[in-house]
């Protein structure tokens, strides 16, 4: 892990609420929810990488 995030109690409560809703969208299956989150994060990381990769100058 590259970066550890520390949350205060208010942030932790907000994150827990969002996590509970996300799991509920997957019929209460946390494994399905986790798998979807991994896929979504992969797509987002690909987009970030594309934005931060230096572009070649057009000739």
DSSP annotation string for 3-59: ------HHHHHHHHHHHHHHHHHTTT-HHHHHHHHHHHHHHHHHHHHHHHSPPPPP-
Q: Could you list the residue range(s) of the whole structural domain that residue 41 is in?
A: 28-54
Residue 39 lies in a domain: yes
Q: What is the mean pLDDT of residues 44-54?
A: 88
- Residue in this structure with the two tokens 């070649």, named with its chain if needed: 56
Tell me how many domains the chain contains: 1
pLDDT exceeds 80 at position 59: no
Residue 3 pLDDT: 84
Q: Identify whether 47 is part of a domain.
A: yes
Quote the pLDDT of residue 13: 97
Reference 18, options 6, 32, 2, 33; nearest CA is 33
Is 1 inside any structural domain? no
Average pLDDT estimate for 7-14: 96
In a domain, 7, yes or no: no
User: Does 35 reside within a domain?
Assistant: yes
Render pLDDT for 26-42 as a digit per residue (tens, 0 to 9): 999 999 999 999 999 99
Q: Is residue 11 part of a domain?
A: no
């Amino acid at each position: 892990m590259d970066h550890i995030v520390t949350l205060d109690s208010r942030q932790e409560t907000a994150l827990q609420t969002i996590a509970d809703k996300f799991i509920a969208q997957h019929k209460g299956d946390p494994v399905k929810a986790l798998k979807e989150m991994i896929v979504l994060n992969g797509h987002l990381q690909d987009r970030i990488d594309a934005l931060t990769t230096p572009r070649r100058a057009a000739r």
